[in-house]
Amino acid sequence: MSSQIKIMVVDDHPVVRKGIVAMLETEPDLKVVGECANGAEAIERVQTLKPDVILMDLVMPKVDGIEAIKGIRQIVPNACILVLTSFSAADKVFPSLNAGAMGYLLKDSDPSELIKAIHQVYTGQAYLNPQITRQVLNMFSQPVIGHEAVEEELTDREQEVLKHVARGLSNAEIAQILVVSEATVHSLVSKILAKLHLSSRTQAALYALRRGMVSLDDEQVL
């Protein structure tokens, strides 16, 4: 990891985009490497700009944010994408997370929360503010047929790792707690995602919350 977190800001409103950029550039460990006015531009420039974190608006012309997340993840599978939008409706939140966003934040959030979210996503952790987390959990209020059998496939160690992922710990932090190598934790997380048919740590964290393996009252959940 570099000394500065490289950020690409994707938003179709110039005033909003410039405001975000100006605020981020007051932080010494953040560096804005590019601005994009729509999802198509973001997909086209992601390989050239090589951002560490992508701030993604959702409602944009040409290619919207959700499709841009999908397109970027096809090019850069491990891309760290943080949605920053004005929309908290379920038809925006859930598709964004399904597409591969690692975090979801509203534009009326405090700047300090945005900075925190950027750092958290940069280290591979999920970030959802409580309003969004509770909304997503409400969407999971009905049991999903067949998931109980899938959950039983997780070993005790995998369940332990999943709980730590849901608490927002990085692979390095989990490795330290379990006294194993970071590579071992990475392998376990990959197996968990495969067994649960999930595409991101954020989805895994929400799964653990839904199953009651952790709660929103636990320290550092998401």
Q: What pLDDT does 112 receive?
A: 92
Question: Where does 29-147 show beta strands of DSSP type E?
Answer: 30-36, 53-56, 81-85, 103-106, 127-128
CATH 3.40.50.2300 residue spans of the chain: 5-127
Kindly report the backbone phi and psi dihedral angles of residue 34, in degrees, each rounded to the nearest multiple of 5, phi listed first.
-175, 155
The stretches in the chain having pLDDT less than 70 are 1-2, 130, 133-152, 215-222
pTM for the model stands at: 0.72
pLDDT given at position 151: 52
pLDDT at 44: 95
Provide the phi-psi class of 179: left if phi over 0, else alpha when psi is between -120 and 50, else beta. left
The token duo for 98 is 């399904």
Residue for token pair 């550039």: 25
The confidence score (pLDDT) of residue 137 equals 60
Give the pLDDT score at 142: 47
Segments of the chain assigned to CATH 1.10.10.10: 140-210
* H/E run at residue 83: strand 81-85
pLDDT, tens digit, for every residue of 41-57?
Answer: 999 999 999 999 999 99
> Number of C-alpha atoms within 13 angstroms, CB side, residue 77?
1
For residue 143, the model assigns a pLDDT of 47
pLDDT of residue 150: 47
Question: Residue 139's pLDDT is what?
Answer: 59
Class of the 5-127 domain? alpha beta
Tell me the residue type at 46: V
CATH architecture of 140-210: Orthogonal Bundle (1.10)
